[in-house]
Structure 1
Amino acid sequence: MLSISGFECVVECAFKERIMHHLTSLQELHISLCLSVVSLGGNCLPKSLQKLTMYRCRQIELLQQQHKYDLVDLQIEYSCDSLTSLSLDAFPNLKNLEIRECKNLESVSMSVPPHAALQYLSVTNCDKWEALPRGIPNLEYLDIRGCPNICRLPEGGLPPNLKALRIGFCEQQLRDLSWLGNLDNITYLTISGNGYKKGILESLKVAASPSLPYLSSDKLV
């Protein structure tokens, strides 16, 4: 594992000179508080890398065209301001994707679904994000919070294997949960926000699966 916090010159050198590529046993890379403009492509990273975390690295550019990453776990927090669309085509083995405060991100998609590997998807506080990606049949955990423009599901509704769903702090979405579609397979449901308990309780009772516990307005967080 390698963690770099600050020290922009170290990050710049590591990627521009492709030093990372030669760390052939590296499995986890954590980069934080880097203010430099750095282009990160698949050929900059060793094949052994399984997890990449970027925290408060606004200027890092995550290159996707012509690049493939062998990552299993990708976390982007307060980073990659230039990123407007994240293509899952570049991450064929990705199981865990967490995106937080990626302020210009509009979509997560793929050109040729399905993406069979992805199991965990969390997107929070991304104001421009509009829709869930289609073709993720094995997704088990979905977390959508603070995304006011998310208002539709891909064709076919929620992924068939989804077991846990968190949604919150999205005013329009919490007024009417019919956009979520069928919740038959959900066994864990968390809804957060303020002032919407009465408005969503009936929607939940209609949509909820028998496997969910008894629903009451005072149980909603």
Structure 2
Amino acid sequence: MTTGYFLDLELDHCPKLERLQMPSLPNLRHLVLGEHYGLKEVDCGGLQSLELLTVHLCYSLRTLPSVATTLRTLNLAYCESLESLKASSSLPNLRDLRLHVCHKLKELDCEGCGSLEHLELGVCHKLERLQMPSLPNLRYLELCKCYGLKEVDCGGCGSLEHLFLYDCNGLERLQMPSLPNLRHLDLRECYGLKEVDCGGLPSLQNLSVAECGSLKRISVLPRSLETLRLQKCRQLQVLDGLDTLTNLRGVRIVECFHIAEESLPENIKRLPRLPYRWL
């Protein structure tokens, strides 16, 4: 390993290993660490060309290992002791970040990750707020089963195209003040959400909302909308801008008891009924 000629390296299943110090491998681009259940510390200081780092089933790891600024993809899964991830200054070239089953994660700081394009968070129960004041290149955001999440602020994500929120049942506030490129918005099982404001989404084409039990109002539906799916939003009372949807091609409204069929505008009644499908 001291030769430094490795491009890819996979180290798996060392359950008793507590500390891993990587030697100088200036050409290493891909590193995978898996099933190191006792691993608490990783020293990646000698990996000056690292582009992809995957860490999974390292239950004792509490902090992100120090890695080179060349990193482009970071995957962390089943790192159940990880409490914080501060990538703001150390990962300026990061493009893809995925965190799954990091139960104790309380803080995620990506403010300085100006190159980030893809962000996924799944089963991160302790995370309460996700604020993204400056992620100008982020195009895809997915949040799934983050039960403690109360607030999501997308204010600095001007390039965002796809936003998916699934089973974030503690979510109370979703801030989307200006997302000029957002085309797909999918919200499902966000039971605490009371209002969705689409006023800052002038390019929105597909809107799907299902099983958001506290949702009462969807504000300022944009004229760009082409498909509208609403299902089991039983408290939903207001669809602001429904009569302006001249580009709408299909609609599905099921078990939204306060939205009566006879109250819909005539142009909406004549539209084809969309099948049950999530984008």
Name the aligned partner's letter for residue 273 of structure 2: L
1:75 — aligned with what?
120
TM-score by length of 1: 0.75
Alignment of 1:166-181 (within 5 A): 166-173=208-215, 179-181=218-220
- Partner of residue 13, structure 1: 42
Distance 1:45 1:9 in 2: 25
* RMSD across aligned positions (CA): 3.5
1:64 Cα offset (Å):
2.6
User: How far is the alpha carbon of 1:184 from its aligned partner?
Assistant: 2.8
Higher relative contact order (CA 8 A, sep 6+): 1
Alignment size in residue pairs: 208
Cα distance in 2 for residues equivalent to 1:8 and 1:106: 31
- 2:91 match: 46
Q: CA deviation at 1:192?
A: 3.9
Instruction: Quote the Cα distance in structure 1 between the aligned partners of 2:267 and 2:42.
Output: 52
Other structure's SS at 1:89 match? coil
Residues 10 and 38 of structure 1: is their aligned pair in 2 closer, same or farther, counting only changes over 3 Å? farther
Identity of aligned residues (%): 22
SS of structure 2 residue aligned to 1:171: coil
Equivalent residue letter for 1:151? K
1:133-212 mapped onto 2 (5 Å cutoff) = 133=175, 134-154=177-197, 157=199, 159-173=201-215, 179-182=218-221, 184-193=223-232, 196-197=254-255, 199=257, 200=259, 202=261, 205-206=264-265
Deviations along 1:18-56, one digit per CA (max 9) or x if unpaired, are 432x162x3222211111234211257533221111111
Larger radius of gyration: 2
Which segments of 5 or more consecutive residues in structure 2 lack a partner in the other structure? 1-29, 44-61, 235-253
- Larger strand fraction of residues: 2
TM-score, length basis structure 2: 0.61
Letter in 2 for 1:182: L
- Whichever structure has more helix as a proportion of its residues is 1
Kept in 1, the 8 Å contact 2:144–2:165? The answer is: yes
CA contact (8 A) 1:18 1:44 kept: no
